[in-house]
Structure 1
């Protein structure tokens, strides 16, 4: 029955009033809110929060910092199937509406009237862009009006592809992933272009509720959401029936993937992070900076492997210390809770022993999986630790090593598992380019996640004999020669300055009488070093140390300096060795090669002081001095200079090239004849270096180099514990150095160092250091600075001896 005419008129009047009222409300809202709205045009220049990324020199990712993981992509990089999936999930009318979906808003309004609460917002993708970029997420009417008005304005200013690009780069998709490219990496460990239809639909289902539909936390609900989106895609004719069926049959394959780090090197990453924070503050975490370091990815990985292998080898020599903990309750819940606080370190997996019988043990891991551990020959080497100098008898069964309830560490092998343990000892390694100071590789400890204390930069330790080459260099500078005879004999220091009488000895406990400087260095004779320092003078020697960049104010002003009592970091030490390696030029270690912004614009490019020898370099002394003064600038100041206007930056010659050559030749003898003979295994004739061991011993060192790479290695306990009486630089540190250098030197040929002008090579008597007679059978060749060539003064006795006294008094004139 048709409605009466009067009723129709009434309904029409009410409708007109409703539309008019709605229009008035919207007009009033527009007039009120419009001046407060931001300009949509600013979206074209919006800067998304993008994390700081650190790379090797080859472009391999080392580390990533920032709360928001984001990989911005452009519209052309969005897979077409993802566009269809996100439209099916969020806004299938995106390409037809003008920013606002009236039907969606009416649906949201009806839900509000029926329930009294805002349930769905009826938001289009454009409205979500307005909200995400300009507004808060509070559910209020005023915010909704702003969202609508902004969406309309955005549609006027930007095209649909630009809007969609803004949307897919901004949306939060759970697990710190912002944008679809980051989500593809987080959930599947792939780029967005590598995902299949089912995976794309899974990501498209996340914007609605990243927690509720997260495939890691709620796989069942995530799959339901995915399948619903696939169904919508089929109904909208975005995909056909076969594609739908195939995609819905696929299992959930999502799993958490951290940053796709190619070279896991947290000590390097942390160093770069700190430099970036100093430069850019907290913006470093959000502005998308990309930092390219000087580090070689291949050599960094090798350095870390060599350090782990070397420290474990030391640890194995000193016996098995037993379990890390003991559990009374070995139930699944108890072991799982206990193991949750242990992490895998250097492939050493924590496990609880839950059963043990007949040389078979059952292990339970933190994920409650289990495995059988059986006796193997390698376990017979797990002699129990008794003291730093002794171990117990070799075990003959598992029962002698472990017990039920033990938390131990095991390592996967081809045949099963072996028992291992986390070393207590620590180490550090730094490899530099002696040409410009570029850090090629750096390891600050056994494991950063176990201890983030960077021993390469922060641990000041006594270098022992590793410091002697610098004392010898000072002696050569002040007139001594490699052939100078020094008496290796006992000395006694008795002074009111000392609490007790000091009687230094050689590491062997023996004394060898008159000894040439060269032999004293490669044999590491302590008493000769003391006499050399006394002959040169402490003040002269300390002043000379400034040339190597050492802190002369911190040096002990006594003869113990000759034995390496000056504490310094591995970084400071390797910098000094770089000067010996490059022929006497001062270089500064540096890590950051260049910094780029998120558009790959270069913001900073390093210009380190670089070794360049005449006549290869046309060095303008005035310009180079100006450039050298720039080295004192901070990185922040350098960033403000025009990189294209930078002059060549030549390294300054800080020690006589002839002295550097002579010390280098003496340190080569350390490898061929002295305490570094293990390095002969590298089968090179261009290597030089020096071991170092301190009293205790508490520190073991080896620093060595050729013309292209210089590396310092240190091993010791953080708490200065005794390392054991048979541990030296040659046994604890040198093997790590050799392991690393075997890779660093691979593919390169040995190089002969070019002899600088002003040196003379003559035959000498090895017993006296004098010129040899024409027919002397035991004569050897030695090289001298031209002003220091020896003469033959006698036919017998010792020539040019220095200090043959047996007792020395500290009150004597030692300082000049």
Structure 2
């Protein structure tokens, strides 16, 4: 009997320990610094308002000093009453468990101390493969021996208080509550610091079996019995007086359940429309190498890394955007009217709005207008989580003449001037693009044009000719440098080095693009040719409060949330493009003449300050666009049917994006000083 009782303890320092010593030393090293998975929080731009959370295990690490003494006492009473006497392994507990298990011919008692339990939880949390998870949790004698050995080692490295803190931040209490912060929130809607003895005993009782003693889903009989056992043990250990314990036993369990938000669909209704920006944060995050080698690793980091993420949206700009995209097209329309606003010089996204509800509930959605779709397929209105504004897997929408900016920038950057003139016919027979013969939208566009008038009137034949002079491949490359990506097989084929030179229709916007891309591309022009990658956040901090960083290819450490910018075209070329881009809006360029009329001449009067931009429509007006910018903001708006690109918007709706951008810029900039565009040099004017 003595030998049998002694075997588990001997194994710790004897045969078992020698067999696995090296592996256990490595794991012990991991446990010294191991931190459990922690919830990441997405904040509004004020850095205080929580919009939603991302987690697999709802947990927020809490210091021991921020926990009620009652929960510390209750967990000792429930799980390990000799915690402060033993050194990681309790010989009395091992012997008692051995005898009990021998009598029952099974496993009726364990001998796990709080330290051993922490070791098991920490190994599970740090496991990187299913095999490691199994090794950490499987019911075997070898696992128990390893836990004992590692518990002894951990107690040499950490104080009892440190072990208690880590334990209470790792334990699972049920209802997806990992750690005492989550448990206090979910079961009682309070912080760990304010837990009463009754509440602490209830939570401590859950650790043994969260489902069996659940006070929320059951009739509370088992939960009350378990709680009372813990209260009695607290009294026996001197944590409660007999009278206090008796009074506590007499109280019913009063839960006050909180269901914590998780992911973008859980955003509070006050910020429901911000779900599209939240969704973009996730898509953007999944593409950041700073958070892992692949998408799965990066999303795992988001849900387990304990990050604090502050959204870049500007509430004033967002409110203006939301108001104006719903002004002409309601959420029940098959046509999506969306807008994205970006900040020149930083790339930060200031608004993302579309006439849709961000929701997973598609039950009441309208039928798809695509004749090729199954009758059971629902359209994406009024509810959707589809990335209609960009940043996801959808290719976007043909952007029409907004693409004329790219050959114009390429031409200006190659040394051509704004005064470059061409007698533009109504129909142009291209000798470069294999006899292709594009025409203008109106006979009024026929005649001699410059970049100012050609851009202002959106003269197709002028820009096809201009693209021939500079090379379609250069125009395509310019768009790529300004952030556009080709998401369809057709676009990728045309943009390939072998075929880009012959992609004459590129300047007419036959490629798909997203509002996010177009707003950011035009923002680069507003920023004197300095392109900044689109970024949906103001800051990202690690769980320890330090900024999240990454290393560049040259080894420089940079913050993930800082703007990433590069000069794509010369400042003078960008300023010249802006001068021409003032013509479509009814504004007056600094150097040249717009030729008498423009495609969106109401914009300048609406915005009430210097503004540039470009309209865009596709064949049969299946989609319509307007991209406009001031020195402070760039906005791109579209209207199209995302479910069926052949469902034409029609000419009558082409003003909707123009009005959406103009009114959004007006309201967003109200009360701010009027800034002027910097004029181009005389050399590039010509």
Aligned: 1:45 with 2:33: yes
Counterpart for residue 419 of structure 2:
481
Distance, in Å, in 2 between the alignment partners of 1:657 and 1:494 is 28
Distance, in Å, in 2 between the alignment partners of 1:27 and 1:485 is 95
Aligned: 1:464 with 2:400: yes
| Helix, strand or coil at the partner of 1:708 | coil
Contact 1:104 1:122 in 2 (8 A): yes
Contact 1:311 1:425 in 2 (8 A): no
Q: CA separation of 1:427/1:557 partners in 2, compared to 1, >3 Å: closer, same or farther?
A: farther
Aligned: 1:532 with 2:462: yes
Q: CA separation of 1:561/1:159 partners in 2, compared to 1, >3 Å: closer, same or farther?
A: closer
Contact 2:32 2:157 in 1 (8 A): no
Moved more, 424-433 or 710-719: 424-433
Distance, in Å, in 2 between the alignment partners of 1:475 and 1:138 is 68
From 638, 646, 651, the counterpart of 2:567: 651
Structure that is richer in helix per residue: 2
Counterpart for residue 509 of structure 2:
564
Q: How does 1:474-623 map to 2 (within 5 A)?
A: 478-479=416-417, 481=419, 490-491=426-427, 504-506=440-442, 511=444, 520=453, 525-526=457-458, 529-533=459-463, 536=466, 538-540=468-470, 542=472, 545=475, 546-548=477-479, 549=481, 557=502, 560-561=505-506, 563-590=508-535, 596-602=541-547, 604=549
Distance, in Å, in 2 between the alignment partners of 1:223 and 1:684 is 68
Q: How does 1:249-328 map to 2 (within 5 A)?
A: 249=252, 251-259=254-262, 264=275, 265-276=278-289, 279-281=292-294, 283-284=297-298, 285=300, 289=305, 295-299=311-315, 303=318, 315-316=329-330
Contact 2:524 2:530 in 1 (8 A): yes
Contact 1:186 1:256 in 2 (8 A): yes
| Helix, strand or coil at the partner of 1:663 | helix
Query: What whole-Å deviation, never above 9, does each CA across 1:241-298 have from its counterpart, x for those lacking one?
Result: 5795599346221232234968641222222133258734455425964667784244
Q: CA separation of 1:225/1:734 partners in 2, compared to 1, >3 Å: closer, same or farther?
A: farther
Counterpart for residue 593 of structure 2:
none
From 618, 625, 628, the counterpart of 1:704: 628
Distance, in Å, in 1 between the alignment partners of 2:2 and 2:402 is 90
Aligned: 1:92 with 2:81: yes
Query: What whole-Å deviation, never above 9, does each CA across 1:363-412 have from its counterpart, x for those lacking one?
Result: xxxxxxxxxxxxxxxxxxxxxxxxxxxxxxxxxxxxxxxxxxxxxxxxxx
Deviation at 1:751, TM superposition (A): 0.9
Q: CA separation of 1:742/1:69 partners in 2, compared to 1, >3 Å: closer, same or farther?
A: farther
| Helix, strand or coil at the partner of 2:173 | coil
Aligned: 1:745 with 2:676: no
Q: How does 1:20-59 map to 2 (within 5 A)?
A: 22-23=5-6, 26-27=9-10, 30-35=13-18, 36=20, 38-39=24-25, 43-50=31-38, 59=47
Counterpart for residue 409 of structure 1:
none
Contact 2:529 2:567 in 1 (8 A): no
Deviation at 1:161, TM superposition (A): 0.7
Aligned: 1:725 with 2:637: no
Counterpart for residue 70 of structure 1:
59
Query: What whole-Å deviation, never above 9, does each CA across 1:87-120 have from its counterpart, x for those lacking one?
Result: 2322333223444455644553454344322123
From 598, 609, 613, the counterpart of 1:685: 609
| Helix, strand or coil at the partner of 1:136 | helix
Deviation at 1:502, TM superposition (A): 6.3
Contact 1:173 1:203 in 2 (8 A): yes
| Helix, strand or coil at the partner of 1:119 | coil
Distance, in Å, in 1 between the alignment partners of 2:190 and 2:388 is 33
Deviation at 1:209, TM superposition (A): 0.9
Aligned: 1:660 with 2:585: no
Q: CA separation of 1:425/1:90 partners in 2, compared to 1, >3 Å: closer, same or farther?
A: farther
Deviation at 1:694, TM superposition (A): 1.7
Q: CA separation of 1:70/1:480 partners in 2, compared to 1, >3 Å: closer, same or farther?
A: closer
Distance, in Å, in 2 between the alignment partners of 1:463 and 1:730 is 15
Aligned: 1:424 with 2:354: no
| Helix, strand or coil at the partner of 1:456 | coil
Q: CA separation of 1:200/1:56 partners in 2, compared to 1, >3 Å: closer, same or farther?
A: same
Distance, in Å, in 1 between the alignment partners of 2:566 and 2:45 is 22
Deviation at 1:67, TM superposition (A): 3.0
Deviation at 1:750, TM superposition (A): 1.6
Distance, in Å, in 1 between the alignment partners of 2:467 and 2:139 is 80
Counterpart for residue 367 of structure 2:
none
| Helix, strand or coil at the partner of 1:465 | helix
Deviation at 1:33, TM superposition (A): 1.9
Query: What whole-Å deviation, never above 9, does each CA across 1:769-802 have from its counterpart, x for those lacking one?
Result: xxxxxxxxxxxxxxx93xx3xxxxxxxxxxxxxx
Aligned: 1:754 with 2:678: yes
Q: CA separation of 1:537/1:756 partners in 2, compared to 1, >3 Å: closer, same or farther?
A: closer
Moved more, 136-145 or 201-210: 136-145
| Helix, strand or coil at the partner of 1:713 | strand
Q: CA separation of 1:715/1:228 partners in 2, compared to 1, >3 Å: closer, same or farther?
A: farther
Distance, in Å, in 2 between the alignment partners of 1:430 and 1:205 is 51
Distance, in Å, in 1 between the alignment partners of 2:79 and 2:667 is 54
| Helix, strand or coil at the partner of 1:752 | coil
Aligned: 1:131 with 2:120: yes
Q: CA separation of 1:85/1:479 partners in 2, compared to 1, >3 Å: closer, same or farther?
A: same
Counterpart for residue 83 of structure 1:
72
Distance, in Å, in 2 between the alignment partners of 1:28 and 1:196 is 41
Say which structure, 1 or 2, has more relative contact order (CA 8 Å, 6+ apart).
Answer: 2
Q: CA separation of 1:112/1:661 partners in 2, compared to 1, >3 Å: closer, same or farther?
A: closer
Contact 2:325 2:338 in 1 (8 A): no
Contact 1:485 1:516 in 2 (8 A): yes
| Helix, strand or coil at the partner of 1:69 | coil
Deviation at 1:536, TM superposition (A): 3.3
Deviation at 1:671, TM superposition (A): 10
Distance, in Å, in 1 between the alignment partners of 2:236 and 2:15 is 42
Question: TM-score, length-normalised on structure 1?
Answer: 0.62
| Helix, strand or coil at the partner of 1:166 | helix
Distance, in Å, in 2 between the alignment partners of 1:574 and 1:307 is 13
Query: What whole-Å deviation, never above 9, does each CA across 1:597-626 have from its counterpart, x for those lacking one?
Result: 443444526xxxxxxxxxxxxxxxxxxxxx
Counterpart for residue 556 of structure 2:
641
Q: CA separation of 1:247/1:276 partners in 2, compared to 1, >3 Å: closer, same or farther?
A: farther
Counterpart for residue 212 of structure 1:
212
Counterpart for residue 434 of structure 1:
344
Distance, in Å, in 1 between the alignment partners of 2:450 and 2:38 is 59
Distance, in Å, in 2 between the alignment partners of 1:294 and 1:27 is 53
Distance, in Å, in 2 between the alignment partners of 1:422 and 1:749 is 38
Contact 1:206 1:214 in 2 (8 A): yes
Give the number of equivalent residue pairs: 599
In structure 2, runs of 5+ residues without a counterpart are 124-134, 269-273, 361-383, 485-494, 590-596
Deviation at 1:133, TM superposition (A): 3.6
Query: RMSD over aligned Cα, in angstroms?
Result: 4.6
Distance, in Å, in 2 between the alignment partners of 1:742 and 1:248 is 60
